[in-house]
């Protein structure tokens, strides 16, 4: 009890920071989940798209370090740039392999990830890069006597906004309805006269946009390096599997859970050593208890 | 010119040859029944026409245009509606959304439409109270009505119906038959795949019988019903 009372402020702050990690992870993994749900392609290039988002945001923010307007410009422009890149990838490559076997799809998306990775290395160099937060978000806010970065508060605030926007898109627009129907039975949707190839393309572009947004948000708080895509794609993949392949809601829950588990593990000297392994342990546990993931649907 | 002309259709699942030179002709306004035992190839024939399992050889002309090899959505847009055997409703969508998904005209363009939300609900009034419910919670009979209603929303000129009576209670089958008769009265052209001879009698105009992927018999409905030997040979279990 004493320990708990003494550590409550730290726990609260860790919970908040875990939540902000969860929001970022959700942005990446929701796109991955969405693309898989509709086209059944596991997009291993998703981490690379996220990375491009981070580098594009870095480049825009570097034009005027610390400037508020350029920060917002980066949040707007970088995801759009990534969406455009996603469109290119879909039109040139992916749309040719939707009917192919999974192994070919995997090979293709992995190849695309490598190509994008090397392109990033060529353009931005192999060394680590970082960019400062905008001036209005450099301060820390005291929460229960602990210092909490105001930038993370913005991410926390953005979480519900993004979630609300996504809900609106999926439940209040015709496109969203078609995406949900395609997730259930895309061939039937086509047999009803819906242009399903167009649905696949737009979903891929939208997923790329989400990854770009995640990358742009992370740019000011993490060093950028050409290898950053690999760690993200693996964690995003774990989140999608825990949530249940193709389940949007499941991805949300598992992204937050992973963020919290990693954040809380920091408080425990023993678990702290294993914070990188914990998501995988969690995934193994979930798969043993429920092989289709928390909110997955049996095939 | 016939509405649909299928000529020497040969369809495969991977290596296995399922349909052998299947030919059929359907005129506007007809209800044509496709009969045959389990595994005879009825569903495969319908899936070949809608393009879900494209034929390897053969020709399918709809309104005079070749449609074999086109993607299903293009075929559907030309005016063919497909109602699958497994119903395949979007269980995660509401009943209303299942109908809206299939509706291709933007609101306001409704004047020339033969089928809209109101009309399909008038034909299947049992769906009305469930409009906001998740379609996955409907009973089997209700799901069958929804899958037909959903396809009608695409305003098809030709309806492909795959064993609609399968797995339904006798009263529900009777209600369904009356609804299909009303559809027929609107002049809709239908290909009805069935095993239930009682169900198709009084509904169909002509009969084709499939056996092991071959068309073995074709006749007007009255002649088929009078022919005990044919039924014993190709349909009795
Ligand atoms: N996806 C598939 N892959 C391989 N073979 C299949 C597939 N679907 C059907 N078949 C085979 O094709 C043949 C024809 O099947 P089809 O479903 O067209 O028959 P059917 O007349 O509709 O039968 P039922 O009355 O049982 O619905 C059967 O031998 C079946 O085993
Ligand atoms: Mg069948």
Q: Tell me the pLDDT tens digit for each residue of A197-254.
A: 999 999 999 999 999 999 999 999 988 999 899 989 999 999 999 999 878 889 999 9
- Report the pLDDT value the prediction gives residue B213, as an integer from 0 to 100: 96
Cβ-based contacts under 8 A for chains A and B = 61
On whether residue A296 sits in a domain, the answer given is no
On whether residue A251 sits in a domain, the answer given is yes
Lowest-confidence segment of A13-22, A39-48, A262-271, B143-152 by average pLDDT? A262-271
On whether residue A135 sits in a domain, the answer given is yes
Residue B214: both structure tokens together: 């071959």
Q: Which of B51, B93, B151 sits opposite A192 (nearest CB)?
A: B151
Which residues neighbour A242 within 8 Å (Cβ) at sequence distance 6 or greater?
Answer: A250, A254, A257, A258, A279, A282, A283, A286, A293, A294
> Residues of chain B with pLDDT > 70: what percent?
96
On whether residue A295 sits in a domain, the answer given is no
For residue A124, CA distances in Å to A46, A50, A65, B99 come to 19, 15, 17, 50
On whether residue A299 sits in a domain, the answer given is no
pLDDT band at A196 (very low <50, low <70, confident <90, very high): very high
Q: Which of A174, A177, A185 sits opposite B88 (nearest CB)?
A: A185
pTM of the model: 0.92
Q: Which of B76, B90, B93 sits opposite A191 (nearest CB)?
A: B76
First to last CA, chain A: 46
* Atom in ligand 1 nearest the alpha carbon of residue B42: 21
Query: What is the DSSP code string of A130-148?
Result: --PPPGGG-SEEEETTEEE
On whether residue A92 sits in a domain, the answer given is yes
Which ligand minimizes its atom distance to the CA of B48? 1
Residue A237: both structure tokens together: 């993949």
Asked whether the beta carbons of B231 and B197 are under 8 A apart, the reply is yes
Hey, of B92, B115, B132, which one would you mutate to test binding to chain A, going by the most A CBs within 10 A of its CB? B92
Q: How far B90 CA sits from the closest chain A CA (Å)?
A: 6
Task: Name the residue of B17, B22, B40 to mutate for ligand 1: max ligand atoms within 8 A of Cβ.
Answer: B40
Which residues neighbour B209 within 8 Å (Cβ) at sequence distance 6 or greater?
Answer: B35, B36, B215, B216, B217, B218, B230, B234, B235
3 state DSSP class of B31: strand
Whether chain B has a CB inside 8 Å of the CB on A197: the answer is: yes
ipTM, two decimals: 0.94
> What domains does chain B contain, in order, with CATH numbers?
2-234 (3.40.50.300)
CATH number at residue A153: 1.10.3470
Q: Tell me the pLDDT tens digit for each residue of B58-73.
A: 999 999 999 999 999 9
On whether residue A27 sits in a domain, the answer given is yes
Q: Tell me the pLDDT tens digit for each residue of B12-39.
A: 999 999 999 999 999 999 999 999 999 9
Q: Cβ–Cβ of B101/A197 closer than 8 Å?
A: no
On whether residue A130 sits in a domain, the answer given is yes
Q: Cβ–Cβ of B72/A187 closer than 8 Å?
A: yes
Residue A61: both structure tokens together: 């923010």
**Domain total of chain A:** 1
Range of the structural domain that residue A222 is part of: 2-289
DSSP for residue B106: P
Residues in chain B closer than 8 A to A249 (CB atoms): none
């Amino acid at each position: 009890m004493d320990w708990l009372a003494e550590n409550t402020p730290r726990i609260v702050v860790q919970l908040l920071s875990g939540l902000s990690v969860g929001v970022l992870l959700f942005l990446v993994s929701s796109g991955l989940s969405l693309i898989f749900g509709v086209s059944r392609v596991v997009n291993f290039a998703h981490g690379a798209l996220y990375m491009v988002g981070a580098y594009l945001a870095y480049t825009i923010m570097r034009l005027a370090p610390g400037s508020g307007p350029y920060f917002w410009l980066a949040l707007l422009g970088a995801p759009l740039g990534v969406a455009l890149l996603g469109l290119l990838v879909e039109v040139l490559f992916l749309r040719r392999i939707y009917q192919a076997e999974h192994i070919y799809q995997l090979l293709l998306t992995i190849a695309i990830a490598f190509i994008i990775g090397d392109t990033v290395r060529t353009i931005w160099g192999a060394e680590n890069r970082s960019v400062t937060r905008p001036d209005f978000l450099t301060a820390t806010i005291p929460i229960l006597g602990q210092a909490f970065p105001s930038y993370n508060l913005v991410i926390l605030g953005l979480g519900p906004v993004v979630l609300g926007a996504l809900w609106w898109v999926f439940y209040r627009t015709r496109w969203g309805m078609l995406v949900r129907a395609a997730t259930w039975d895309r061939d039937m949707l086509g047999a009803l006269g819906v242009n399903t190839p167009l649905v696949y393309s737009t979903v891929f572009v939208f997923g790329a946009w989400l990854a770009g947004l995640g990358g742009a948000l992370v740019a000011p708080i993490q060093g950028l390096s050409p290898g950053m895509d690999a760690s993200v794609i693996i964690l995003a993949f774990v989140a999608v599997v825990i949530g249940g392949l193709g389940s949007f809601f499941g991805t949300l829950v598992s992204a937050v859970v992973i963020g919290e588990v990693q954040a809380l593990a920091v408080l425990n000297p023993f678990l702290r050593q294993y914070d990188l392994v914990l998501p995988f342990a969690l995934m193994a546990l979930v798969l043993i208890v429920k092989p289709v993931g928390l909110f997955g649907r049996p095939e | 010119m016939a509405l649909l002309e299928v000529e020497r259709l040969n369809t495969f699942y991977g290596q296995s040859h399922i349909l052998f030179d299947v030919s059929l002709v359907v005129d506007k306004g007809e209800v044509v029944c496709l009969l045959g035992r389990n595994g005879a190839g009825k569903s495969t024939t319908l899936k070949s026409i809608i393009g879900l399992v494209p034929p390897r050889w053969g020709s399918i002309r709809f309104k005079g245009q070749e449609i074999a090899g086109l993607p299903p959505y293009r075929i559907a847009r030309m005016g063919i509606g497909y109602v699958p055997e497994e119903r395949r409703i979007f269980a995660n969508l509401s009943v209303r959304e299942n109908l809206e998904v299939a509706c291709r005209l933007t609101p306001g363009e409704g004047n020339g439409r033969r089928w809209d939300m109101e009309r399909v609900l008038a034909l299947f009034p049992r769906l009305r109270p469930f409009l906001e419910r998740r379609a996955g919670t409907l009973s089997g009979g209700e799901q069958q009505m929804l899958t037909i209603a959903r396809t009608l929303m695409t305003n098809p000129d030709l309806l492909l119906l795959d064993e609609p009576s399968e797995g339904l209670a006798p009263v529900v089958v009777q209600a369904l038959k009356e609804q299909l008769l009303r559809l027929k009265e609107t002049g809709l052209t239908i290909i009805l795949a069935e095993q239930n001879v009682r169900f198709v009698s009084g509904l169909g105009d002509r009969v084709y019988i499939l056996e092991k992927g071959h068309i073995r018999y074709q006749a007007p409905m009255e002649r088929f019903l009078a022919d005990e030997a044919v039924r014993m040979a190709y349909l009795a279990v």
